[in-house]
Amino acid sequence: MKPIAQLIATAATLVFATSVIAAPAPAANEAPDVLVKRISADVIETVKADKDIQAGNRNKIMELVNSKILPYVDAEKMTMQAAGRFWRQATPEQQKRLSEEFRTLLVYTYSGALSQIKNETIEFKPMRNDPADTDVEVRSQVNVTRGEPITLNYRLAKGAQGWKIYDINVLGAWLVETYKGTFAAEINKSGIDGLINRLAERNKQLASKPLKAPK
Amino acid sequence: MKSKNNVSTLPRWRGLALAAASCVVLAGCAAPSNPQDPLEKFNRATFAFNDAVDRVALKPAATAYKNVLPGFVQTGVSNFFGNLSDVWSSANNLMQGKGQEGMSDFMRVAINSTFGIGGVLDIASEAGLQKHDEDFGQTLGVWGVPSGPYLMLPLLGPSTVRDTAALPADFAADPWTYKEPVNVRNIGIGVRAVDQRASVLEASNLFEEAALDRYEFIRDGFMQRRQSQVYDGESGPQKDVEKEDAEPAPASNTQVVPEPASPAPDTQRK
């Protein structure tokens, strides 16, 4: 009996081992609010610990945004929603260029916002979504030293690579919604390529502009 | 308005297409670009005026205020006027049926006016009583009055028709309106305006970077924010509209009904 028992034991261990290895990496299974909390805490800690960033070093800030935030942002989905019905009319080449330019613009904008973090704390509100949802909203607020706390909400969608952010709400205004009007007006005026060129121009301008050092 | 896209290599076609495109574009210019903004021409003109005043007077004053005055003085000014506005916020919260927030704001005023030495120190916030920003326009919104079109007010900035109608109530309820002598009152109004401008100085610089068209960016952001303020953070039924718009299904191409404004990009692209 012994060799058979051994065989069964080995087989069982093998099966168990492979199932553990085959299990998806924990990162892809991270709950959306846990993900956002982790990114926020990470980013804020980095900003507070780094004097260079606080002094307005644009390259460092953009590096921070590119490495810690962008991997979790679905820029294409953001652009698709901001472009609305025009997305379907765009060629894949135009879609790609538009997503890239929009993403770059957001990186510049977000960097500007990050360089101004000082003593603010972020408070997360309880999630109201079903665990089975694939499209959720994570709500938080930034407690500032004066005035009302600033609302900061995120919309995330679950894709093949886990949860990704596709919209941000600051002070009650959703980013995608706010850009929709501008996109539509620009596309009506000079077409999708016109919009892409305008974004590219703006990004060039921002690249050469030094970040203002906060007081 | 020359299109760089390849319309065709034949010059005859190009001329015709350009003519067609310009007709459509002109027609497009006549139609309002945003259903929430039928007064766009007036609003843009007022925005340009406000912007000029801002660049010439308010922004430099706010920048100087921010750079020169010590931090605690700026905080004191902000707290003082914030305390005065808490009185009306409290009343509005109660009118909206939010008893807890109303009482909380009332306590803020009580604590800050006494222990906070006339409102200059904001002890209530440190005690955990968060500040609420409620005005009569929001109260009307909660009572069911729709916001109406976007309206840019001279000097006062973005608003809506409903909120503009509510302004007299806000003015009447502002304790500072009754401050005597008049010159002190006017100085106070000026200082308050500069202080408020200084507090959004960095945010407004950010807008300049983020927005392609500042007027539209401010309008669309403001309308959403107003909605969010009325409902205290809930964005309402907007979400469904966005999801319908963004469907990526390729089959839907054939079902897309061309709308009047869209022929322009079509002629230009192909």
SS3 content of chain B, % helix, strand, coil (to 5): 70, 5, 30
The rounded percent of chain B whose pLDDT value lies above 70 is 74
pLDDT, mean of residues B176-187? 90
Task: Measure in Å the smallest separation between the Cα of A110 and chain B Cα atoms.
Answer: 9
Question: Model confidence over A11-24: pLDDT tens digits?
Answer: 555 555 444 444 44
Report the residue from B132, B228, B253 with minimal CB separation from A88. B253
The helix (run of H) or strand (run of E) holding residue A10 is helix A2-22
| Residue B21: predicted pLDDT | 53
Per-residue pLDDT for A132 more than 90?
no
DSSP tag of B235: -
Interchain CB contact of A215 with B (< 8 Å): yes
Residue B142 has a pLDDT of 93
A200 vs A146: CA distance, rounded Å: 36
Chain A contacts in chain B segment 6-65 (CB below 8 A): 25, 28, 33-34
pLDDT single digits (tens) A93-103 = 999 999 999 98
Q: Which residue of B has its CA nearest to A117?
A: B202
Rounded to two decimals, the ipTM of the complex is 0.71
Interatomic CA distance for residues B80 and B100, integer angstroms: 23
CA atoms of B28 and B33, how far apart (whole Å) = 8
Share of chain B above pLDDT 90, in %: 44
pLDDT at A147: 66
pLDDT value at residue B256: 41
Give me the mean pLDDT over the A97-120 stretch: 81
pLDDT tens-digit series, residues B186-216: 999 999 999 988 888 877 777 777 788 889 8
Q: How many CB atoms lie within 10 A of CB B200?
A: 13
| B78 reaches A (C-beta below 8 A) | yes
B106-134 per-residue burial string, b: 16 or more CB within 10 A, e: under 16: bebbebbbeebeebbbbbbbeeebebbeb
- Give the distance from residue A100's alpha carbon to the nearest chain B alpha carbon, in angstroms: 15
Which residue from A minimizes the CA distance to B256?
Answer: A85
pLDDT digits (tens, 9 = 90+) for B79-101: 999 999 999 999 999 999 999 99
Comparing CB atoms, the residue among B209, B222, B242 nearest residue A108 is B209
Give A167 to chain B, closest Cα distance, Å: 11
Instruction: Inform me whether the C-beta atom of residue B234 falls under 8 Å from chain A C-beta atoms.
Output: no
Q: Is residue B102 predicted with pLDDT exceeding 80?
A: yes
